[in-house]
Structure formats: structure tokens, C-alpha cells
Amino acid sequence: MSDSSSDDEALPNWDALSGDLGCAALAALKEHFASKDTGDGEGHTPPLTVPPVAWAAGPVEVTSNLDYKHQTYWEQRFAVEDEYEWLASFKQAEPHLSAVLPDKTARLLVVGCGNSSFSEELFDAGWVNVTSIDFSAVVIDRMRAKNVEARPCMKWEVMDMRSLEGFGDGSFDCVVDKAAMDALMCDEGSPWDPSEGTKRDAHLMCLACARVLVPGGRLVMISFAQPHFRRRYLEGFAAPAEVAAADGVVEAYGWRVTAAKGFGEPGCLETFLYACTVCDAVDPKGVGAAAEGSSEGSCAPSGGSD
């Protein structure tokens, strides 16, 4: 478990600054502090570890980044906050999503949906089969009530994304995560040497997502995490026995990472999109999906940091 380390104490109060500075200035300041990181001592790019606090100026006081892991924090926040969009708007993400999710009839599961309009906008853009979950009952009740008349076909369920216990195996064609696994990373500690709690939760979430996906199905993840930090979780690094076959198929989850690319507004911090495609009998190594991903310029971040 990570706690308030002396490194954290040396950082500015991003939360306070985020209200005062423009996006570009804040990003520049964060880069400045990230560049003070000595990295892993092997010449790799130091992490742009942005405390989630920086983007989350919400109505409930955040005392520590660990708050983002606690259900009670989210329940309190959603009780007083109507809507908040993390990382990227649907409009920004849509072209990238369409590339990895061309089938609008696909059964979509949005995990950690929060009070973002992302699920509703997916639905309005034609992905008509959308189920959204969150472990906050407050937000799920609110989202269900908000959409019961306008979008009665949308489904909303209270559930933990680390188990997805309410869904059977192979229930979905695609799982969509926007800043949800990011919330599990709040106790990561050093991204070079993550805490056991973070590794366990990330692994459980990957297992659950892989289980509810059909063969050929896809996890699509939008995250603040750069590929050299997030990709390894998707590649089984947190599995109890780290097993990634040489051909790229991740044994623990039965998928391969088929896209990892950056996108975002110029001058602001980059956002990343990942896709993991579950192998099936037709394409047991996921090679077709990987080729499809690479034709999108994927498997490398646009910023060239991996």
C-alpha cells in the first residue's frame, strides 16, 4: 500500500492549482515536476504520474489520492455532483472508439460509468446496446432515473468491476473503461514498483473483463496512464504467475493488446486508448485484430514515449 510518501509531499497542491491555472500551464507545471523523477535508473522516460486529484476538483474534499479507491468517497461525491467527465469527452474519443469498435450492434458494458454522459452519448451515437455499472448505488440510481424515459433501453447496475459478479461468462462484445482502472491505481505507489493492492485489483478487473467478454470481444480502455505503465497490467504483469506468451497472447486473460495510442488536446496532457482483443477459434493468436490495430497507428503512443 502506498501512503503519503516524502515524494508526494514535495509536489504542489495540484487540486488547488487546477482551479487557478489554465490547462496548458497546469500541464507544463506537472511535466516540470515529473521531470524531477529519476525514473528507474535504466534510462527510461520518467513517469508523468499525475495525481488524479489534479483533474478532479469535485465538490467533496479529497484528503488523499487513496480516496479515489473508496466507495464512500464516490457515494458522497455523487450525492452532490450532477455530472463530471474525466479525461476526455465523448466527442474527443469517438473517432478513436469507432476505429476499435466499428459494430454498433455490439453489446457494450461501460465499467465505472460514474455521472459522466459518456454512456448516454455512446447510445445516442448509435451503440444502442449499452449496460453501465458502477459500485456507487447513488450514481446508478441517478443515471437510471435520468434515462428511464429518454433512453429506456439503457441498463444501469450496481456492481464491482473487480468481479462483475452479476454477469455470466461471455455476456458482452465489448467492455469500455474510461478512467475506471485509473481509480484502482490510487494506491499504486511508485509506478516502477506498484503496490500489491494495486496489482491485485488490476488483475481482478482484467480477469472479470476477460470473463464477461465473448471470444473475439474487446476491452477498450481510455486512461491517463502512459503505455509503458498501463500496458504491462493488460499484458498480465499483475497476474500471480506472470505469463505472457512470446507471441503476445496473454495467457491469464486470453487476449492480446491490439492498440495502445495517445490522443488529446494540444497543450494538455495526453490521453491514451488501449484495446485488448480476446482470441477466438477463427483467430487464435489475435493476429488479425493486432493488424487492424496497427493500421490505426496503434501499438505505439503518438507521443513516442514507449
Ligand X SMILES: C[S@@+](CC[C@H](N)C(=O)[O-])C[C@H]1O[C@@H](n2cnc3c(N)ncnc32)[C@H](O)[C@@H]1O
Instruction: Using CB under 6 A, list all residues that contact ligand X.
Output: 74, 85-87, 112-114, 116, 118, 134-136, 160-162, 178-180, 182-183
Nearest to ligand X of 138, 249 (CB atom): 138
Q: Write down the least CB distance from residue 294 to ligand X, Å.
A: 26
Nearest to ligand X of 275, 290 (CB atom): 275
- How far apart CA 109 and CA 171 sit, in angstroms, is 9
- How far apart CA 163 and CA 135 sit, in angstroms, is 11
Nearest to ligand X of 209, 279 (CB atom): 209
Quick one: cell of 244? 505472457
Q: Write down the least CB distance from residue 32 to ligand X, Å.
A: 24
Q: Write down the least CB distance from residue 205 to ligand X, Å.
A: 7
Centroid of chain to Cα 3: 22
Nearest to ligand X of 118, 229 (CB atom): 118
Question: Residue 265 carries which side chain, given as an amino acid letter?
Answer: E
Q: Write down the least CB distance from residue 87 to ligand X, Å.
A: 6
- How far apart CA 33 and CA 13 sit, in angstroms, is 12
Nearest to ligand X of 130, 179 (CB atom): 179
Q: Write down the least CB distance from residue 196 to ligand X, Å.
A: 17
- How far apart CA 135 and CA 72 sit, in angstroms, is 10
Tell me the CA distances in angstroms from 94 to 125, 143, 167, 222, 275, one per residue in order: 9, 21, 26, 11, 14
Quick one: cell of 105? 450492434
Three-state SS for 159-201 is CCCCCCCCCCCCCEEEEEEECHHHHHHHHCCCCCCCCHHHHHH
